[in-house]
A and B are shown apart, each in its own frame.
Chain A
Amino acid sequence: MAWMDIFRANKPSTAQLAKERLQVIVAHQRAGALHAPDYLPKLQKELLEVIRKYVAVGEDAVNIEVERDGDTEILELNITVPSSKN
């Protein structure tokens, strides 16, 4: 069946795609299941309040994500502030 691999080479098999999708899904699921951090929405809200004391930002200025890397969890904060032009 080796000759068939030639046709397969440039296109991943559907099983391969399934596996890649699952790796992402499961990583998210496990990250979420750990502490399903219920403090996250509150943290997000309070951070927004603090930031708003200094800069005018929209509701979605603070973005929080939890990622799992081996045994450690990484809390990723993304804060978008308008660039100060003056």
Chain B
Amino acid sequence: MAKIIVVTSGKGGVGKTTTSASFATGLAQAGHKTVVIDFDVGLRNLDLIMGVERRVVFDFINVIAGEATLKQALIKDKRVENLYILAASQTRDKDALTEAGVARVIDELSKDFEYIVCDSPAGIEKGALLAMHFADEALIVTNPEVSSVRDSDRVLGILSSKTARAKSGESVREHLVITRYDANRVARGEMLSVEDVKDILAIPLLGVIPESKDVLNASNQGSPVISLPDVQAAEAYKDMVARFLGEERAHRFLDPSSKGFLNRLFGG
């Protein structure tokens, strides 16, 4: 049986797709057969971040509607062994996403994969609810910023009340992933710290991803940031995956850069 993990946040633009892509890639690199599904019907993005946009023929909705088989729709990553992508539809609207349809696809994927990563759309509407509905575990992607933290708390409430697990009296295992963390601004008291966010949300911390220009570089190239060499955000994502798989690793990149004042002044 596969483990189903939803990457969710409530608030838009906090780094769910960036995290889904790197997390799924990391799991696959660790030798686990993994599929990452884009639930953002109408606004697909994951294909671009994974660099497979030109290879999408059939999508998730086609499979749900019975217009294509799962085999036809799954895109095998060319760079990473064990990694598959199921794209969202660009044209159909969200009504095409049905609970029964999603259940059937996830069921079928479960037979073949170890991990199913669901990249949730923003919001708490149908697409987001379905992305989390069958989850065993959840990555709560949060920026150290008031509206993002509040939305994450809302999502935690939904995870523990509306999901299939919640309804059968079980719980969804929750992991906090703080992204776009700027240790310099935290040190200056301008940004919530890791401890602040942990205190408020009170769920275990899985990873802290620093704010980094490399994320844009990665998406420009259509390569998940975790695959870039010598990049802090990639190291942070690798640590996160290792922790998810049970390894103990200290959190890094939480301290202000050691660059001197002048260096920072001149944008070094």
**Chain A interface (Cβ < 8 Å from any Cβ of B):** 1, 8, 13-16, 18-19, 21-23, 25-26, 29-30, 33
Complex contact A30–B153 (CB within 8 A): yes
Q: How far is the CA of A33 from the CA of B162 in the complex (A)?
A: 11
Inter-chain contacts of B161 with A (CB < 8 A): 33
- Identity of the chain A residue whose Cβ is nearest the Cβ of B256 in the assembled complex: A1
Given A21-B146, A29-B153, do A15 and B186 touch, yes or no (CB 8 Å)?
A: yes
Q: How far is the CB of B184 from chain A (nearest CB, A)?
A: 11
Q: How far is the CA of A6 from the CA of B209 in the complex (A)?
A: 31
Q: How far is the CA of A30 from the CA of B202 in the complex (A)?
A: 12
Complex contact B150–A15 (CB within 8 A): no
CB contacts under 8 Å to A, within B247-267, are none
15 A-B contact pairs sorted by A residue (CB < 8 Å): A8-B189, A14-B189, A15-B186, A15-B191, A18-B145, A19-B192, A19-B199, A22-B196, A23-B200, A25-B150, A29-B153, A29-B154, A30-B157, A33-B154, A33-B157
B19 at the A/B interface (Cβ < 8 Å)? no
B149 at the A/B interface (Cβ < 8 Å)? yes
B67 at the A/B interface (Cβ < 8 Å)? no
The interface bits of chain B over 186-203 (1 if a CB of A lies within 8 angstroms of the residue's CB, else 0) are 111111110010011100
Q: Which of A13, A26, A30 contacts B189 (CB 8 A)?
A: A13
- Given A15-B191, A26-B150, A26-B200, 4 further pairs, Cβ under 8 A: A15-B189, A16-B189, A25-B146, A29-B150
Complex contact A29–B157 (CB within 8 A): yes
Total number of A-B contacts with CB less than 8 angstroms? 49
Q: How far is the CB of B174 from chain A (nearest CB, A)?
A: 14
Inter-chain contacts of A30 with B (CB < 8 A): 153, 157
Given A23-B200, A33-B157, A33-B161, do A15 and B190 touch, yes or no (CB 8 Å)?
A: yes
Q: How far is the CA of A21 from the CA of B149 in the complex (A)?
A: 11
Inter-chain contacts of A26 with B (CB < 8 A): 149-150, 153, 200-201
Inter-chain contacts of B201 with A (CB < 8 A): 26
Q: How far is the CB of A36 from chain B (nearest CB, A)?
A: 10
Complex contact B200–A22 (CB within 8 A): yes
CB contacts under 8 Å to A, within B186-224, are 186-193, 196, 199-201
CB contacts under 8 Å to A, within B142-182, are 145-146, 149-150, 153-154, 157, 161
Complex contact A22–B150 (CB within 8 A): yes
Q: Which of A8, A15, A29, A33 contacts B196 (CB 8 A)?
A: A15
Which 9 A-B residue pairings sit nearest by Cβ, starting from the closest?
Answer: A13-B189, A33-B157, A19-B196, A26-B153, A15-B189, A22-B200, A18-B146, A15-B192, A25-B150
Inter-chain contacts of B150 with A (CB < 8 A): 22, 25-26, 29
